[in-house]
Amino acid sequence: MTAAAQSPAGTAAGQSDAILEVSNLTRVFGGVRAVDDCSFRVRRGTITGLIGPNGAGKTTAFNLISGFLKPTSGTIVFDGERIDGLPPHVIARKGLVRTFQIPKPLGSMTVLENLVLVPMGQEGERVWNAWFRPGLVGQREREIIDRALAVLEYVDLIRLRDEYAANLSGGQKKLLELARTLMAEPKMILLDEPGAGVNRTLMRRLVGYIEELCYERGITMFIIEHDMDLVARLCNPVIVMSEGTHLCEGTPEEVRNNPQVLEAYLGGQYR
């Protein structure tokens, strides 16, 4: 493994193109240090994987980065701005959004309505606009609906636009989650186990969307995933966490052959 891969700090060039910088991040629950002095960087324009054994602290790290938990200590810098401790909606407004391992659509609303709700600061949210500027409100609503329809077309859910989200299959809910993140016009998306519960056909489609969104639209992807074949195909670099901290980093092949990684998965805390 290269020196840059071994160190979360990387090189000076690596620092300059980092869109996300996590430094000495710690989260304590009672006496348990779920994330323990963890540091890493995610480079802009990459599909970066985050792997580790169950209980390694991956999802807790995502929750801290996206604002669903507050750190006990440490800093998180996104796109040059410190975000640790900010609420999720403020972080999302800055261009950092996430999906969940178990999709959480608004089940009693239609697929289209789930998307239309996403853009923040809509003119219709202000009562005085509805009274005194109805033309502006209507124009903005039409623009949002048109964008939502385009996103649904992109993820191949357009035929389900009027279906209640609760009635979608598990795979369709994954696509809806991805569509909702796109409505936020993100700079970076945190994907929590996109392959979980998804059949192979749909997974190939998801992989295609992820690659296109990153390499053609410039959206950085940071992915938690347990399917190592998927990680090897999709992610470079790969960051490994174990027992709440950064263990190592490198290409999928470097990580796969790293003795520390083998110990974390097969020995150590599991002996």
- Helices first, then strands: H and E counts in the chain: 12, 10
pLDDT digits (tens, 9 = 90+) for 223-267: 999 888 899 999 999 999 999 999 999 999 999 899 999 888 866
pLDDT in the model for residue 86: 95
Written in H, E and C, the secondary structure of 83-120 is CCCCCHHHHHHCCEEECCCCCCCCCCCEHHHHHHCCCC
**Long-range pairs of 35-38 with CB within 8 A, sequence gap ≥ 24:** 35/60, 35/61, 35/64, 35/71, 35/244, 35/245, 36/243, 36/244, 36/245, 37/74, 37/245, 38/74, 38/241, 38/244, 38/245, 38/246
∠ CA 186-158-191, rounded to 5°: 35
pLDDT in the model for residue 48: 98
Q: Which residue is associated with the tokens 């124009």? A: 139
Contact between 103 and 191 under an 8 Å Cβ cutoff? The reply is no
The full set of domains in the chain, from first to last, is 3-105+185-270 (3.40.50.300), 107-167 (no CATH)
What is the average pLDDT across 202-208?
88
pLDDT digits (tens, 9 = 90+) for 120-159: 644 444 544 554 455 655 666 788 898 999 999 999 999 9
User: Peptide bond preceding 105: is omega within 30 degrees of 0, i.e. cis?
Assistant: no
Predicted structure pTM score: 0.82
Contact between 214 and 45 under an 8 Å Cβ cutoff? The reply is yes
How far is the C-alpha of 93 from the C-alpha of 219, rounded, in Å? Answer: 15
pLDDT in the model for residue 234: 94
The single-letter DSSP state of residue 167 is G
Q: Which one-letter amino acid corresponds to residue 74?
A: G
pLDDT in the model for residue 16: 57
How far is the C-alpha of 99 from the C-alpha of 194, rounded, in Å? Answer: 8
How far is the C-alpha of 33 from the C-alpha of 72, rounded, in Å? Answer: 10
pLDDT digits (tens, 9 = 90+) for 184-198: 889 999 999 888 877
Q: State the pLDDT confidence band at 209, using cuts at 50, 70 and 90.
A: very high
How far is the C-alpha of 136 from the C-alpha of 14, rounded, in Å? Answer: 44
> For all residues of the chain together, what is the average pLDDT?
85
pLDDT in the model for residue 249: 96
Contact between 47 and 230 under an 8 Å Cβ cutoff? The reply is no
Q: Which one-letter amino acid corresponds to residue 120?
A: M
Q: State the pLDDT confidence band at 56, using cuts at 50, 70 and 90.
A: very high
pLDDT digits (tens, 9 = 90+) for 58-89: 999 999 999 999 999 999 999 999 999 999 99
CA-to-CA separations, 126 to 92, 119, 130, 133, 135, in angstroms, rounded: 20, 14, 7, 10, 14
pLDDT in the model for residue 266: 67
Q: Is the pLDDT of residue 96 over 80?
A: yes
Lowest mean pLDDT among 15-29, 65-79, 102-116, 122-136: 122-136
Give first-to-last CA distance, the chain, whole Å. Answer: 26
> What is the percentage of the chain residues whose pLDDT exceeds 70?
84
Q: Is the pLDDT of residue 108 over 90?
A: no
